[in-house]
Amino acid sequence: MSLLQDGFWKDYLLAVAATILVGALVASSAAHGLDAALDRAADGILGEAGQYDLIVHIRQDYREAAARELPLVLSGHYEGVRVERAITVAGNANFLIDVPAEHYRADVLESLPSLLGQIPGFNGYTWLLEPSLTVTGLRPGVRDRLAGEAAAVPGVRLAVRHGSSVTVVLEEVQDQSRVADALNRLLSGRQLVELGFPPGEGPVDGTEVAASVKDAVGARFAADVTPDGGEDGAPAGLDGLRRFLESFGSRVRIAPVPGSEPPLVGQRLVLQGGSPERPVPGKPPAADHVIVEITHRDGDVAVGRIEQGDRSEIPDTAAATAADGSSDGRREAMPAYRLDQGFVGPLAGTAAVEEPGWNPGDPESGALLWHRVGELARAAAEAAGQVDRWLVLVGPADGTGAVAGETGEATRELAQRLVKSLRSGDGAGAVRETLLTVIMAALAQNAKPDGDGAGSGAPGIPEALSPDRLAALRDSLNRLAEAAGQLQGDEWQDALRSMPEIGALLPELRDDELTRILQALEEWTGAAGGHGPRIELWIDASVPAEEIRRAAEEATGRAVTVRPSASGVVSPSPRSLVTGVLDDVRRSVAALLAFLVAALSLILDHAIVLAAMRYLSVPDTAIRPAGAAIGALLLGAVYGLSGARLPFAGHWAVLAAGALLGLLTAALAERLGPVNAEEIVAGQSLGLSDGQIMREIVVPAGRPGMMVLVNRRRRRFR
Amino acid sequence: MAKKTPLLKVDGIHKRYGDRVALAGVSLTVAPGETVAVMGPSGCGKSTLLRCIVRLTDWDKGEIYFDGRPVGPMDHGAIRALRRQIGFVFQHFQLIERLSVLDNVLLGLVLGGMDRRAAEKRALAALRRVRLEHEHSLRPAELSGGQRQRVAIARALAMEPRLMLWDEPTAALDPVLVGEVLDIMEELANDRKTGMLVVTHEVRFARHAADRVIILDRGRVLEEGPPEQVFGNPRSYVGRQYRRLLVG
């Protein structure tokens, strides 16, 4: 093609290359400029990368108080911790926390959130540890074990546990991909398997089961990661507390009507209690009747707890009868009626009430419980601080200053946060707040409109949670903490004997109040509903669930249900997510600019060339393909070099779009880049080559663009 | 006397534009230094014939020979060389508007490989011949129609062609400006250095300056001969029309 003679084609290709380079540079620079601007905005929210480690979210109306308290609280524990104010977003004032190098350890970082609960208006926190990766969706046992394994991965500085996640802080940002690969390999190579056992057959030793299953299936790795097996798992703490509290509640034993089955677990029964009226079948129970929830079976006897009323409302005769679990024959035991859909039903049996008390001989309520007391006590010390703050919200200790609306709002907020914290499995934090949660659970129950909580003189504040009661609870907790804190070696035996005294320190909760607390705890720990023991194994992903089930059944001799699930998911840090979004924005902007550059170049430079081809020695059939090719080349190259990326648009789609642009340009070439055909013919008549005609006649008359600029260099007639 | 090889020989050229027949077997010759006038009504194929000679348009059938060499098989390089030997003066001048008068004339010379200084000397000589040497720095837009056509003539002359093709060079001119162009054309014809094939409606020019006149209609040669013969005793209706113009 004579168009390619006289070096014109070289200049044409040079112009195309220059367009691509300049276009990519412009698109990339503009996009990076925007990226930098957005990045600065992000820094305003998150701080500069690596500058801060934590964002604390504070309710906007507590901003000033939090600004005073945060530095005091944090530097009181860790000297040198720096606090900076950040912008307020969506009702949350944000504070950026910088932990100095000497405190930059996993244990310190893990303890920070627990201190934040003391800050007025605390509304959550977000880690900014960088460079980092976060593994989310972890069960507590897996989380703790993974934290240890992740910390040993080369390139990992430390691993911080929080909630159901582990944030893996890297030595260098360049390690991100390598460490992510290592963690992904670790997680995808293992599966979490929950093994469920039938109820009523005693506990299961998870460690033994894990070892047996590992041997039986030939797994390279198998570990017991059952939360209960851990020393500081939240469910373990809650469950310990549940059993601890349960030992202070009354038990009601129901002997079924001869010839009939005992009531089922979960059924409710109605007792006369202290009411002058006996329950009447077909009518709803009275407010002063006692309602019992069956919790378990003891042989033929159903055992329950008081859900409405208190043991003190049951006549002494019944209580005396219950002391040894049977009637003394002198008085008739109290009849118990079924409660069906809110109405008193037929007679179910006779009820006898056991006095609550501490039984040192009972291993379930003895040594095991005391084992938990130490940690609960330590947690109680901090919880006492929470109570203090809560008391401020409720009102002065004389109980006269409470404001129901404010209290309700604060309570709801606090309750939501506590529940969230507990459910997230934030180990230490959850245990710390466990005791306070008990208070909240009771409040939540008592604050129901139809609740029967006694008033304290301030409307909406139940007596059990009045400032006086809470102050007493705070004192109790402090003393409990002190006692547990001083416990050493075998002194626990003595402590065990003192449990009744410790129990006496607890506020005088009614049986129904205690039951509501227990029900709340069971809801959170999953202990309700008659579940049997459950253990969680973390085991090679390659082992089929069925094999695990068989091995577990052989190891325990019990029927086992198996529920496998993924170990967790590796995701970038919050900043990385923000950076990722900004990067997407930058790439999208670059893509749009790439389209703009390609379109402009086609219109300014190539339309006139394509239009002139019609008059030169180029076959007409080649013009549109040439346009498509140059369009694809321009857009594809600028797009690629500028680092552009559009969602759902692969490279082929971009090339196709470029080809389409080029095709359109070729089709509309004479409108987009009109040429003077008579001048072209004049040049041809003078014996000029196509290249000379393009260089001397066509291009100089074109629109200013890269082609004109490049062509000027070798043009003979100016 | 041995018959000379014609400078140009058109041999049975056919050309169609779709259904329309532009040339239907046209044959003619032009000897070196000879002036041949081609006349005929609009649309009879005169301009197509000229464009075919320099391969601005490809024909369907027949052959064209320049200096004995067939033009049809020529490659791009040979065609460009051919065009440098054949000057072309268009009806609408077809000057490069952004270039000066001198540059317009220089364009073919310099890009054809001539040294710029020598080319300028020749270009100025060509402009002097058409009496425009003082306007060499002006742009075409600053000239009258007649001047612009004279620039176009100078551009063709500067190439020192062996044959000049004239495509109705006065058709686009104001009647008062026609004379200045015809005077130059007659001078060139009288020089007898360059063969000239002139498509024109100027009967007087044809009668005085042409060696032969060819009457063309509907793509065919109706009659051909010396001006005295064609205009004195026309055999075709078209020839009679031109004779009437001449007498009138």
- State the CATH number of the domain containing residue B235: 3.40.50.300
Looking at residue A460, its pLDDT comes to 35
Interface mutation target, options A679, A686, A694, A697, chain B, most CBs of B under 10 Å: A686
Q: Give yes or no: residues A694 and A663 share one domain.
A: yes
B89: domain range?
8-247
d(CA A236, CA A229): 8
Is B56 a residue whose pLDDT tops 50? yes
Is B216 a residue whose pLDDT tops 90? yes
Nearest to B99 among A2, A681, A717 (CB): A717
A437: domain range?
367-525
Q: Based on the structure, what is the number of domains in chain B?
A: 1
Q: Give yes or no: residues A139 and A11 share one domain.
A: no
Residue at which a domain ends, from A327, A354, A381: A354
B210 belongs to a structural domain: yes
A74 belongs to a structural domain: yes
Taking CB atoms and an 8 Å cutoff, what residues of chain A touch B99? 717
Nearest chain A Cα distance for residue B154, angstroms: 12
Q: Give yes or no: residues A91 and A168 share one domain.
A: yes
> DSSP letters along A181-206, please?
HHHHHHHHTEEEEEEE--TTS----H
Looking at residue A47, its pLDDT comes to 57
B221 belongs to a structural domain: yes
Nearest chain A Cα distance for residue B176, angstroms: 25
What's the per-residue H, E or C state across A144-175?
A: HHHHHHHHCCCCEEEEEEECCEEEEEECCHHH
B203 belongs to a structural domain: yes
Tokens of residue A421, six digits: 């914290």
State how far the alpha carbon of A338 is from the alpha carbons of A141, A353, B33, in Å.
41, 17, 133
pLDDT mean across residues, chain B: 92
Q: Give yes or no: residues A348 and A383 share one domain.
A: no
A317 touches chain B (CB under 8 A): no
Residue A333 sits in a domain whose CATH number is 2.40.30
Burial A36-56 (b: 16+ CB within 10 A, else e): eebbeebbebbbebeebbbbb
Looking at residue A355, its pLDDT comes to 66
Cross-chain residue pair B76–A686, CB shorter than 8 Å = no
A691 belongs to a structural domain: yes
pLDDT in tens, B137-196: 999 999 998 999 999 999 999 999 999 999 999 988 888 888 888 999 999 999 888 999
A225 belongs to a structural domain: no
B interface toward A at CB cutoff 8 Å? 54, 56, 76, 80-84, 88, 90, 92, 94-99, 103, 106-108, 110-112, 155, 159
Burial A403-433 (b: 16+ CB within 10 A, else e): beeebeebbeebbebbbebbebbbbbbbbbb
Looking at residue A3, its pLDDT comes to 54
Query: What does pLDDT average to in each consecutive run of 10 residues of chain A (718 residues)?
Result: 66 90 89 79 63 79 79 77 76 80 78 75 76 80 83 86 82 78 84 76 76 82 69 45 68 85 81 86 88 80 85 61 39 77 88 63 45 48 48 42 41 48 41 47 42 36 47 55 50 50 57 74 52 77 83 79 76 67 81 92 92 88 93 94 83 93 93 91 93 92 89 86
For residue A159, count other CB atoms closer than 10 A to its CB. 25
Q: Give yes or no: residues A335 and A385 share one domain.
A: no
Residue of A377, A384, A320, A374 whose CA lies nearest to A352: A320
B161 belongs to a structural domain: yes
Tokens of residue A706, six digits: 């890269």
Q: Helix A620-641 vs helix A8-46: angle between axes, to the nearest 10 degrees?
A: 30
Q: Based on the structure, what is the number of domains in chain A?
A: 4
Looking at residue B155, its pLDDT comes to 95
Nearest CA in chain B to A682: B94
B247: which DSSP letter? H
- Alpha-helical (H) ranges within B136-196 are 145-158, 175-191
Residue of A449, A452, A450 whose CA lies nearest to A463: A452
Q: Give yes or no: residues A639 and A520 share one domain.
A: no
Q: 3-state class of A643 per DSSP?
A: coil
Q: Give yes or no: residues A344 and A283 share one domain.
A: yes
Looking at residue A684, its pLDDT comes to 94
Residue type, A166: V
B3 belongs to a structural domain: no
B2 belongs to a structural domain: no
Residue at which a domain ends, from A155, A185, A215: A185
A717 touches chain B (CB under 8 A): yes
Nearest CA in chain B to A699: B98
Looking at residue A517, its pLDDT comes to 72
Cross-chain residue pair A686–B111, CB shorter than 8 Å = yes
d(CA A633, CA B234): 64
| pLDDT, average across residues B91-112 | 94
For residue A450, count other CB atoms closer than 10 A to its CB. 4
Looking at residue A500, its pLDDT comes to 52
- Which helix or strand (DSSP H or E) is residue A346 part of? strand A343-354
For residue B198, count other CB atoms closer than 10 A to its CB. 27
Residues 6+ apart with CB under 8 A from B202: B170, B178, B182
Nearest chain B Cα distance for residue A679, angstroms: 6
Cross-chain residue pair B107–A717, CB shorter than 8 Å = yes
Which residues are registered as beta bridge partners of B65?
Answer: B9, B70
Q: Give yes or no: residues A349 and A374 share one domain.
A: no
Cross-chain residue pair B56–A685, CB shorter than 8 Å = yes
Burial B211-220 (b: 16+ CB within 10 A, else e): bbbbbbbebb
Would strands A92-98 and A54-59 be described as parallel, antiparallel, or unpaired?
antiparallel
Q: Give yes or no: residues A163 and A266 share one domain.
A: no
Taking CB atoms and an 8 Å cutoff, what residues of chain A touch B97? 676, 679
Is B130 a residue whose pLDDT tops 80? yes
Q: Give yes or no: residues A317 and A447 share one domain.
A: no
B51 belongs to a structural domain: yes
B135 belongs to a structural domain: yes
Tokens of residue A139, six digits: 């069960």
Nearest chain A Cα distance for residue B74, angstroms: 13
Taking CB atoms and an 8 Å cutoff, what residues of chain B touch A692? 111
Q: Give yes or no: residues A386 and A511 share one domain.
A: yes
Could you tell me how many CB contacts below 8 A there are between chain A and chain B? 63
A452 belongs to a structural domain: yes
A454: which DSSP letter? P
Nearest CA in chain A to B160: A686
Nearest to B111 among A682, A692, A700 (CB): A692
Residue at which a domain ends, from A185, A200, A230: A185
Q: Give yes or no: residues A32 and A167 share one domain.
A: no
Nearest to A687 among B99, B106, B108 (CB): B108
Nearest chain B Cα distance for residue A713, angstroms: 16
Cross-chain residue pair B56–A681, CB shorter than 8 Å = yes
A 695-714 residues with CB < 8 A to B: 696-697, 700-701
